[in-house]
Amino acid sequence: MQAGDLRLAEEFCRDEYEDYVIYSYLAEHEARGDLREILERLAREEYEHYLFWRGVIGRDCAREVGKARLRLIRLMRRVFGLTFTLKWLEKHEERVVEAYKAYLDKLEGEERKRLEEIIRDEEEHEKGLMSGIEETIVKYMSFIVLGLADAIVEINGVHAGFLGVTDYTVMAGIAGLVVGLSAAVSMASAAYLQAKHEMERSPMTSALMTGLGYLAASFTLAAPYFFTHRMLVAFTVSVLLGVALIAAFTYYGSVVFDRKFAREFLESTGLMLATALGSYLFGELIGTYFGLRGLFG
């Protein structure tokens, strides 16, 4: 085997060993028994893959995984859930599988057969194990996103409308909060009724997730209006916060549900900006026609 092929095999070996260490670490700190069992099975598979590549290169390739990285991954699991964490860790697997397939021609006999089995593990078995994970945050993700997405579009629309009506930032902020509270109750009620027809979801939890998502976005977008008296500055910061929230939940969904990030992000951001523009023009028209800017500014 050529030196370049050995170096590539050593990279594969180190990658599999690192995955084994990470899954083992997560399993050690997992409170739920069913999830711990899945992590332990994943760790065993990665260890077997590591042993295969160690045999190919004829020497050990194990190297220590930094404790800071392990703690960061554990924090990710606590904050974003195990499904997101595992899918995020496995995002490079498509490239790895393609690299393994290209490497098949460099092996013969039992080694080639074993690598074919490893490829099947990566493509099917591990994905099957991950799909068996049930978490509340994933189960109700659609309701959380529904609340966040609607709030970002609607509350930014309210603020944009006030941009054309008045220079009084506090009034715009309060308007956003009032609309946010009433809309959150309305959205939560709609989510409750929707979930009543879905046997696998709790209506109360669905309503709670939707309402809290809406309220969280509303308070986040309204906050800049209470920290500055410059309307354009407050609006700009609020829009940037809206874009950041869109990017966050779109990225989360793209990882968990294997979606394309760019398209969904651009569509959601475009909708928010288009709504804001229309609301601003309408507010400008109303403010000019009724002389409201002079009244409140």
pLDDT tens column, 177-208:
998 899 889 888 988 888 887 767 788 888 88
Is it the case that residue 18 has pLDDT exceeding 90?
A: yes
- Residue the block writes with tokens 């309503």: 207
Lowest-confidence region among 13-22, 72-81, 164-173, 286-295? 286-295
- CA–CA gap between residue 96 and residue 123 (Å, rounded): 10
Alpha carbons within 13 angstroms on the beta-carbon side of residue 142 total: 6
Do residues 49 and 16 lie in contact, with contact meaning Cβ atoms separated by under 8 Å?
A: yes
Q: How far is CA 244 from the centre of its chain?
A: 12
Mean pLDDT of 272-283: 81
Q: Span 158-162, mean pLDDT?
A: 82
**Residue whose entry in the numeric block shows the structure tokens 């509350």:** 155
Distance CA 153, CA 242 (A): 8
First-last CA distance in the chain: 78
pLDDT score, position 17: 94
Q: Report the length, in residues, of the chain.
A: 297
- Residue 72 dihedral angles phi and psi, to the nearest 5°: -65, -40
More confident residue, 236 or 276: 236
8 Å CB contact between 207 and 191: yes
Q: How confident is the model at residue 132 (pLDDT cuts 50, 70, 90)?
A: low
Across the range 66-95, mean pLDDT stands at 88
Mean pLDDT of the chain: 85
User: In 3D, which of 72, 264, 117, 235 has the Cα closest to residue 168?
Assistant: 235
Predicted pLDDT of residue 73: 94
For the chain, give every domain's residue range: 3-134, 137-296
**Taking CA 244 as the corner, what is the angle to CA 87 and CA 246, rounded to the nearest 5 degrees?**
65
Q: With bands split at pLDDT 50, 70 and 90, how would you rate the model's confidence at 142?
A: confident
Identify the pLDDT of residue 293.
54
How far is it, in rounded angstroms, from Cα 138 to Cα 118? 28
- Are 134 and 174 in contact, with CB atoms under 8 Å apart? no
Question: Can you name the CATH fold of 3-134?
Answer: Ferritin (1.20.1260)
**pTM for the model:** 0.80
Q: Is the pLDDT of residue 19 over 80?
A: yes
Name residue 57's amino acid.
I
